[in-house]
Amino acid sequence: MGENIGADAAKLAGLLADLMHKIRARKITLQNLEWFNMLSEAERHQLSGNSIEDDRFHLIKTCEFMVSADFNHDACLRDFQKKFKKEFYHFNPEITDNHFGNVSARLVPGQKLEARFYQIKQIKERVSSNECLAFLMAVPKIILPGAQGLAELWKHIKDKEILPRGRWCLSFDEKDKLWQDADGYHRVPGIYRISAGDWYFGLDYFENDWGSDYCLVCFRDLSN
């Protein structure tokens, strides 16, 4: 924690020094800064090229994390359950490496990721899974690491107030990459934390429509 704060402070100091240099050289004016400061968060994201316009999805939080040094895709969920299952009030037994090994993006040790949490805003009607996927796929550097992505994310956020409480946070993948249960439904992994703090790792249905009690977890690869 202290190392992260120190690194952030050093980065901020470097950015401020560079900014002052550009102001003195008249490459950036005070009017430029005032204009940028008055922009909304959505406008700043749009200018950076890191978001798309869709008022059904609202960015509420972001965080960066690294994939564990001992990460092994083929045994990720087995190892995760052995080590952390006791910390969950409920852990769906169908979340296994066999069922969810065929993900679109296989993570690698040391990979740097950003997780964005987009709350679904139910404006007139609920949104479909295909609409959720279309939104995610328009985000730059998007990857779809499935249940393995959620497991790695949880290890980073479990002791922090990052995950919005009271909403299922879903990790989508392409429909044909998701495990299909005995009834023919494709299952979408998600994590949930109730207001009292208990954790759930569960499965929902790709065939569902989604409302405001759900968030999308958008994983972005920052390694390159």
* 25 shares its domain with 66: no
3-state secondary structure of 136: helix
* 8 shares its domain with 74: no
pLDDT tens track for 93-134: 999 999 999 999 999 999 999 999 999 986 677 899 999 999
Mean pLDDT in residue range 71-78: 96
Share of the chain above pLDDT 90, in %: 62
* 31 shares its domain with 126: no
The most confident of the ranges 14-23, 50-59, 162-171 is 162-171
**43 assigned to some structural domain:** no
**213 assigned to some structural domain:** yes
pLDDT for 44? 55
Average pLDDT value for the chain: 86
φ and ψ at residue 111, rounded to 5 degrees: -65, 135
Question: How deeply is 199 buried, as exposed, middle or buried, from its count of CB atoms within 10 A (0-12, 13-18, 19+)?
Answer: middle
* 184 shares its domain with 84: yes
pLDDT for 126? 87
Q: What domain count does the chain have?
A: 2
**83 assigned to some structural domain:** yes
pLDDT for 31? 65
* 69 shares its domain with 171: yes
pLDDT for 102? 94
State the distance between the two ends of the chain, measured CA to CA, in whole angstroms: 24
* 16 shares its domain with 115: no
**152 assigned to some structural domain:** yes
**44 assigned to some structural domain:** no
Asked if residue 5 has pLDDT above 60, the reply is no
Mean pLDDT in residue range 82-94: 95
* 55 shares its domain with 28: no
* 33 shares its domain with 56: no
* 72 shares its domain with 6: no
pLDDT band at 22, cuts 50/70/90?
A: confident
Q: Which domain holds residue 30?
A: 1-38
pLDDT tens track for 26-49: 767 776 676 667 654 544 554 454
Asked if residue 55 has pLDDT above 60, the reply is yes
**128 assigned to some structural domain:** yes
Asked if residue 57 has pLDDT above 50, the reply is yes
* 108 shares its domain with 191: yes
Q: Map 56-116 to HEC letters.
A: CEEEEEEEEEECCCCCCHHHHHHHHHHHHHHHCCEECCCCCHHHHCCCCCCCCCCCEEEEE
